[in-house]
Amino acid sequence: MGVPETEPLDVGRIRADFPILDREFGGSQLVYLDNAATTHTPEPVVETITDYYRGYNANVHRGIHHLSQEASIAYEEAHDRVAEFIGAVGREEIVFTKNTTEGVNLVAYAWGLNELGPGDEVVMTEMEHHASLVTWQQIAKKTGAEVKYIPIDEQGTLDMDAAAELITDDTAMVSVIHASNTLGTVNPVSEIADLAHDHDAYVFVDAAQSVPNRPVDVQELGADFLAFSGHKMCGPTGIGVLYGRESVLEEMEPYLYGGDMILKVTYEDATWNELPWKFEAGTPNICEGIALAAACDYLDEIGMERIQKHEERLAQYAYDELTAMDDVEVYGPPGDQRGGLVAFNLESVHAHDLSSIVNDYAVAIRAGDHCTQPLHDKLGVAASARASFYIYNTREEVDKLVAAVDEARQLFA
């Protein structure tokens, strides 16, 4: 769209690419504020999907016929596009997975099971999503390694003094969430990566809530691994990305065995294909991978810095409006220090009831533990309601949320 990074987004124009936002429920137009769970898919990405199935659907790396060649080239180039999007060296560092969860499991199984043992430590944060938390916890149990957590303070910000003490020569892996899907906190990943690398530990970054919402450069962050999901960034479901530093991926054993990940197979043994195919066994999600590249194009055309600013403005506004209510508790750092989401509770109304009432006004938010049960335990609540913003949301939609929360209060008064 060729406008300066500081210009607000042309939300009206963006919304025209998302016909789903025109849906109405009970006479009210949908207000979709559940973008941290999944985002919608713009027309150019939908067109990429239909073009694929109408024009060049074929398996990749398995045929020399025209369709297979076209599909293979598009699928491989999608890796290049994603590499460019996050500042990776090239396609060899981009493994297509199903989602963020598969990305962390790949590293945990292919690297963790082989490399961790008694005396080793995996350091995480108290705000990790279950995708990382449960995975490293279970791999630690299998290997005898120990898990430690960097604590958060009252504002939901990491205690970096504690981080400096917890990360030691015993640390083998530091797995850190870039932007919290519950608190909205954006963590100082490069600072944490420096601490980890000072002790020769690897750094895994859960970027599920950052790659879709702000510029992310794996080199600047100092990530050895970084994972995210296509469905949270205008792409389809069923496609995710694991970035791995080339030298580290080279050393790692494969995660899944089978077709396409091999170089030479005999009845006795096998050798592995080059990166990244060594980690992409079997027929991959071809169309979804190609569509993810189209999603990168779509977001880059809008501008990731402008997207970040737009979301931050909405989150700040929602934070201000919600904290102005005496009986609402908002979790996480102040409005000017958070990513594009706000988790909260209305006194004496369960988050599920709250989300059900606002749904009566066609306002879609999420309620629950957001796959961060230990964090909710720490906050002293079983669940919270959460509004999360994206490129197509407006201040008027925040007003509708706030009005619906008011209605819920009156209903339960």
* Interaction between residue 338 and ligand C6P (CB under 6 A): no
List strands edge to edge, sheet with 328-330: 328-330, 341-346, 384-388, 366-368
* 244-247, long-range: CB < 8 A, 24+ apart: 244/93, 244/95, 244/107, 245/93, 246/89, 246/92, 246/93, 246/275
Return the residue of 181, 185, 285, 308 that touches ligand C6P, per CB under 6 A.
Answer: 181
Buried/exposed 97-107: b ≥16 CB within 10 Å, e otherwise:
bbbbbbbbbbb
324, 19 in Cβ contact below 8 A?
no
403, 361 in Cβ contact below 8 A?
yes
Bridge partner list, 249: none
Letters for 201-240 (x = contact with ligand C6P by CB under 6 A, - = none) are -----x-xx-------------------x-----------
Letters for 82-121 (x = contact with ligand C6P by CB under 6 A, - = none) are -----------------xxx--------------------
Which residue, 37 or 147, has its beta carbon nearer to ligand C6P? Answer: 37
For residue 371, indicate whether it is catalytic: yes
CA dist 147 and 277 (Å) reads 31
What are the DSSP calls for 289-302, one per residue? HHHHHHHHHHHHHH
CA 156 vs. chain centroid, Å, equals 19
Which residue, 92 or 102, has its beta carbon nearer to ligand C6P? Answer: 102
* Interaction between residue 79 and ligand C6P (CB under 6 A): no
Which residue, 131 or 401, has its beta carbon nearer to ligand C6P? Answer: 131
Provide the minimum distance between the beta carbon of 310 and ligand C6P in the complex, in angstroms, as a whole number.
19
Letters for 26-45 (x = contact with ligand C6P by CB under 6 A, - = none) are ----------xx--------
Which residue, 37 or 58, has its beta carbon nearer to ligand C6P? Answer: 37
Residues at the interface with ligand C6P (CB under 6 A): 36-37, 99-101, 129, 131, 177, 181, 206, 208-209, 229, 366, 370-371
- Indicate which residues carry an active-site annotation: 371
